[in-house]
Amino acid sequence: MRALQIAGTGMMAQQTNVEVISNNIANMSTTGYKRRRAEFNDLLYQNMRRVGSQSSENGTILPSGTQIGLGVKTSAIYRISEQGSLQQTENRFDLAIRGNGYFQIQLPSGEIAYTRDGTFGLSPEGLVVTAEGFQVLPGITIPAAARDVTINAAGEVLAKLDGQLNPQNVGQIQTAIFANEGGLEAIGDNLLLATPASGQAQIAAPGQPGHGQLLQGFIESSNVNVVQEITSLITAQRAYEMNSKVITASDEMLSTLSRMR
């Protein structure tokens, strides 16, 4: 009885859907997190009578054949790159990108990762680093004697030093954009890696065409909409229950057959 297997694939699909939703809800307070959405495809069809085939020797053809669907599968889990709300922190090294773009992060392995999480600080050497201590590229060192640091919308890092009238430019933060942001690979710690699906990173200063501007003293909140996620969770739960009802009904039909004499 195909219904057992078909309903089983439906339950597995909804289980994946609930896992994606639960991950969104768990990260509702994660800085720079982008919510995910599960997408599904129907499985192969079994042709009992193929559509368009001849139904007689006179050349008549079937206007609509007989196809039996075999269930559903998870096709993709998309990342929704909608801008999250901006939250003021009063920390002079916190940065948010208003618009497109990612910060570049140097990993200990030498790879370059990308993130929307602008929760930055200073290393003991004065380098601008992430909360995990990873260097923010292109590598900016803040002088120990700096009384104040300003990072403007174009990414210029300006340090105010004693005895100098004008601030000193100590570096330029650059951002990266991708042709297909959904193709980036998440590796945890709010970090993403480029893949052949995402394309090569296009690097430029904030505010350049296609690149958003920086806001100092702000961070970008998660773009998870709790009401929408709860609604999706209820829908997924009901779909899971309906598939379980199909399995129950199929089992009762098989029990009826087994009792026949």
Vertex 197, ends 42 and 215: CA angle to 5°?
Answer: 115
Q: What share of the chain is helix, strand, coil (3-state, %, to 5)?
A: 25, 35, 45
> Residue 149, CB half-sphere, CA atoms under 13 Å: how many?
27
Contact 105, 137 (CB under 8 A): yes
Radius of gyration of the chain (CA): 27
- Chain length of the chain: 261
Task: Tell me the helices (H) and strands (E) count for the chain, helix number first.
Answer: 2, 20
State the residue for tokens 């590796």.
187
* pLDDT tens across the length of the chain (261 residues): 788 899 999 999 999 999 999 999 999 999 999 999 999 998 888 777 777 777 677 777 777 777 788 899 999 999 998 999 999 998 999 999 999 999 999 999 999 999 999 999 999 999 999 999 999 999 999 998 888 999 999 999 999 988 788 889 999 999 999 999 989 999 999 999 999 999 999 999 999 999 999 999 999 999 999 999 999 999 999 999 999 999 999 888 888 888 876
Question: What is the predicted pLDDT for the residue at 261?
Answer: 66
Question: Domain extents for the chain?
Answer: 2-81+225-258, 86-220
The answer to whether the peptide bond before residue 138 is cis (omega within 30 degrees of 0) is yes
